[in-house]
Amino acid sequence: MSKEFDYTKLKHVTSVDQSDREVPYNLRQSGPTKVEMLISTRVRKSPYWHLSMQAGCWRATVYNRIYHPRGYVKPEDGGAMVEYDAIVNHVTMWNVAVERQIRVKGPDAEKFTDYVITRDATKISPMRARYVILCNAYGGVLNDPILLRISKDEFWFSLSDSDIGMYLQGVNADGRFNCTIEEIDACPVQIQGPKSKALMKDLLGDQVDLDNMPFYGLAEVKVAGRSCVISQSGFSGEAGYEIYLRNATLYADDMWNAVLEAGKKHNLMVIAPAHHRRIQAGILSWGQDMDMQHNPYQCNLGYQVSLSGKGEWNKKTDYVGKAVLEKMGADIKAGKKPYKLQLVGLELGGKPIEEYAPDFWLISNADGGDPVGFITSPWYHPEKKQNIAMGYVPFDGTLNSNGFPKGKVGTKYKVHLPEKYSDKPGTPVDAVVVDIPFKESFNANTREVVKG
């Protein structure tokens, strides 16, 4: 046993009831591990990687098998909360080229897309986007991308972190849909913050009427003379846009530097994806807040199955997972509990959590005992002066006004924080279930029903 670190802490806790899963969610996913990570050709650099390095990136993770910048301000200089200040008060740019773009194109592009997502692809107009989910045959969430409809016969899946590109090709392995499915050299950056529209107006001039651009609206533009698609969307809860650069391998510097130049007068800062702000907005992160063995109902995405709410299903003849998802929804409506754990919002004690959590910290009942759940996404809320988190606790059957599962507000728990955040090491802190979001989004409908 090392004197520096107790490696038994890396063992998985088994008291949380996950008997409805084949593989328990990794409650102790990583944590302190004294090894050097091997750099190999299995993971690639994005076209913006060198530009992130120039902007001061000092750490990264791997996402979609691409190096993903996740820190620009070092802890000794204020860390991630300096980046938080930039996004809530000014404007920021993020390198999110890790969001691989999988293009579905051809006469059956709409038919194919409609089959693999839970919501109705036929209601998405050309030059519009939507937040969507793809489920497997068992109802598990495989991915939650932004879906861009470029034209009648062309869709782009802007992926979160999983191998959906290969999955989509596999779905059409027998060629039943007349379309091609392939990754394209289009890489996004996000422009997020209250000054994002002002920056984009300076960047684009009169190419597009941003004042009348709807949320999830798309437009074809040129940035530094290079072809791009922009969308009014983002992963932060603040006002924002995404710029998808075509032929990014060739023209990354041109677009990136044009944004930097336009952003000078708006206090633009290059930062990592703002997980502190997305947690406040209740925006989920695939692989952190859900995976392929979580169904949409237990992670607050039931509206993606029943877009009209109140248990009325999509009028789609078929899509992957349809039968099991509709049965699960009917069971919930009938008062049954078809799964063990429900994602909830929590306010909790302890010292300010101002950094990414390396583990899924454990949750016990208010009276103590063995852990019954776990935290997925914690952070400190500066305006509330309160730690907040999303996490899984036992599903008690509580439903919201639309008939979707939720946590019972006011239910109390204990959270086992690591020593650096504990008021008293070894003693769990108090936590209480609260409504999500913790802070309203600029576009309030980002987590609600958007027809079509």
Which pLDDT value is given to residue 148? 98
> What pTM does this model have?
0.94
Burial of 441 (0-12, 13-18, 19+ CB in 10 A): buried
Q: What is the mean pLDDT of each run of 10 residues along the chain (452 residues)?
A: 48 87 77 74 94 97 95 97 98 98 98 96 96 96 97 97 94 98 98 98 97 96 98 95 98 98 98 97 95 96 74 76 93 94 98 94 93 96 97 95 91 95 92 95 57 38
At residue 368, the pLDDT reads 87
Name residues whose C-beta falls within 8 Å of residue 181's C-beta, 6 or more positions apart in sequence: 102, 103, 104, 112, 165, 168, 169, 172
From the list 228, 236, 212, 220, the residue with the least C-alpha distance to 379 is 236
The pLDDT assigned to 444 comes to: 56
CB atoms within 10 A of CB 329: 24
Q: Other CB atoms closer than 10 Å to residue 308's CB: what's the count?
A: 13
Separation between Cα atoms, residue 392 and residue 289, nearest integer Å: 9
All structural domains of the chain, each given as residue ranges with its CATH number in brackets, are 40-274 (3.30.1360.120), 279-447 (3.30.1360.120)
Distance (Å, rounded) from C-alpha 207 to C-alpha 154? 22
Q: Check if the beta carbon of residue 186 is closer than 8 Å to that of residue 228.
A: no
DSSP assignment, residue 421? G
What pLDDT is stored for residue 447 in this prediction? Answer: 45
The per-residue pLDDT for 402 is: 82
CA distances from 433 to 173, 275, 332, 344, 366 (A): 45, 20, 20, 7, 11
Residue 53 CA neighbour count, 13 Å, CB half: 7
Task: Return the structure tokens found at 52.
Answer: 């992130």
Cis omega before residue 437 (within 30°)?
Answer: yes
